[in-house]
Amino acid sequence: MAITVLLYEDNTMLRESISSMIRLDPRFLVSAAFDNVLHAENQVAEINPNIILMDIDMPGRNGIEAVTRIRATGSTTPILMLTVFDDTQHVFDALRAGASGYLLKKHLSSKLFEAIDEVLTGGAPMSPTIAFMVIAALQKPVANPYQLTPRENEILASLAKGNSYKLIASEFFVTVDTVRAHIKKIYEKLHVHSQTEAVSKAIKERLV
């Protein structure tokens, strides 16, 4: 019996390309492919696939939220994230939500089938750069007296490099207004009133 695959990818060309690639392997059957996850939990319940391939950045609702909703229904179907995002926040948010593995799209052609096989046998596949990032994060000493969130830590580190709000927004795929909101929170938590004070305190206390 074929292994059934449910695919979520909003880019039409990439969705068709992934579907075509999967169909080349007779072991697999693409049960359905959707361009959004607005009804993902119902679709998963109805189709009952063996594995779900999930993009993160999609219109209306992102893939991480979809994973959370799917897991809330009690589904244990393996979910492999396929994404361009390789920052710490997206990786850990996806894994915390219940993702089974995390594969960068640039590795699709060489790693997809290997990752699917690993997920289906109980493994947790990750692109090499993602695996390295997870290990580094786990090995980093925990020192967070100001209760900064992972994203606030990342933005503070970027500020310390002298990056502008616009550059930070581009680095983390968010808006400049979102960066401003994060920085306002950082100032409040560090009890400072300017970027210079924040960076100085961060360096002095080895927060970055």
Please say which residue of 111, 137, 163 terminates a domain: 137
Instruction: Give the pLDDT score at 147.
Output: 87
Q: How many domains does the chain have?
A: 2
pLDDT band at 67 (very low <50, low <70, confident <90, very high): very high
Residue 38 to residues 66, 92, 165: CA-CA distances in angstroms?
8, 22, 32
Per-residue pLDDT of 100-127, as tens digits, reads 999 999 889 999 999 999 999 888 888 7
Instruction: Give the pLDDT score at 143.
Output: 57
Pick 87 or 45 by higher pLDDT. 45
Instruction: Give the pLDDT score at 8.
Output: 98
* Residue of 174, 199, 170 lying closest to 187 (CA atoms): 199
Rounded Cα distance between 90 and 103, Å, is: 12
- Asked if residue 170 is part of any domain, the answer here is yes
- Asked if residue 142 is part of any domain, the answer here is no
Instruction: Tell me: pLDDT of 132 over 80.
Output: no
Rounded Cα distance between 192 and 190, Å, is: 6
Instruction: Tell me: pLDDT of 134 over 80.
Output: no
Average per-residue pLDDT for the chain = 89
- Asked if residue 145 is part of any domain, the answer here is no
- Phi, psi angle pair for 107, to nearest 5°: -105, 10
118 in the same domain as 16: yes
One-letter amino acid at 179 equals: V
94 in the same domain as 117: yes
Q: Which domain holds residue 121?
A: 3-137
- Judge whether 99 and 90 are in contact, CB under 8 Å: no
Instruction: Give the pLDDT score at 176.
Output: 92
Please say which residue of 114, 137, 160 terminates a domain: 137
- Asked if residue 74 is part of any domain, the answer here is yes
Q: What is the CATH number of the domain that holds 59?
A: 3.40.50.2300
Instruction: Give the pLDDT score at 95.
Output: 85
Widest pairwise Cα distance in the chain: 63
Instruction: Tell me: pLDDT of 129 over 80.
Output: no
- Asked if residue 144 is part of any domain, the answer here is no
Polymer length of the chain: 208
Instruction: Give the pLDDT score at 9.
Output: 96
pTM, two decimals, is 0.65
Please say which residue of 83, 108, 137 terminates a domain: 137
Residue 25 to residues 29, 30, 54, 75, 124: CA-CA distances in angstroms?
9, 11, 19, 26, 21
Instruction: Give the pLDDT score at 126.
Output: 83
- Judge whether 119 and 78 are in contact, CB under 8 Å: yes
Instruction: Tell me: pLDDT of 35 over 70.
Output: yes
